[in-house]
Amino acid sequence: KIIFASIHCDALFNGQLRGTMIYVPGADYRKTTETPEPTSFYKKYAEAREKQTVTFSAATLRQDEALSTNFAQVLLDELGKSRIKRHDGGPPIRNVIRQSGGKFYLPAVLRTTEVPTKVLIECANLTNPTDCTRLSDAEWRQLFAQAFVNALKTYYGS
């Protein structure tokens, strides 16, 4: 039982937006073969040097997205039980990051990680004053951490 979680705080253009958003690896936005740039700073790590190319089947890409989306939904449910704000300025679970000008991308951690269930969690929006206040509160951070642990227990059936 394994999961890859990359936990961050976002800085959205709109300071009115609040809450947690979760990115999953959209199958349509991934390639079946990924090779990092040769100048990548990851080359200093043995793992990156030993396995420079990762390969996935189309079925694996779809399975990764489904498993990751399932976990993301469980996590959002657990956050809701703890009364932690979930992003409501659009879908809180997204399979690609969209930027202005119609650009989109998936971070390398979602494209190249071989762990089937993988999520990039944006806990809060740093441009929103309420989210910033929550982030500075140790009790809120503990609630968030406990919701994450509860989601893992629920997802893996323990």
Residue 88 pLDDT: 87
Instruction: Using alpha carbons, list the distances in angstroms from residue 117 to 4, 25, 75, 104, 152.
Output: 6, 9, 13, 21, 11
Mention every residue, 6+ apart, whose C-beta is less than 8 A from residue 16. 89, 128
Confidence check: pLDDT of 23 > 90: yes
Q: From CA 59, how far away is CA 124, in angstroms rounded?
A: 32
Confidence (pTM): 0.91
For the segment 3-19, what is each residue's pLDDT rounded down to a tens digit? Answer: 999 999 999 888 899 99
Separation in Å, CA 36 to CA 6, 30, 55, 102: 19, 13, 12, 24
Instruction: Encode pLDDT of 83-130 as tens digits.
Output: 999 998 999 999 999 887 888 989 989 998 999 999 999 999 999 999
Three-state DSSP class for 113? Answer: coil
In this structure, what token pair is assigned to residue 81?
A: 């039980």
- Enter the tokens of residue 55: 């390969």
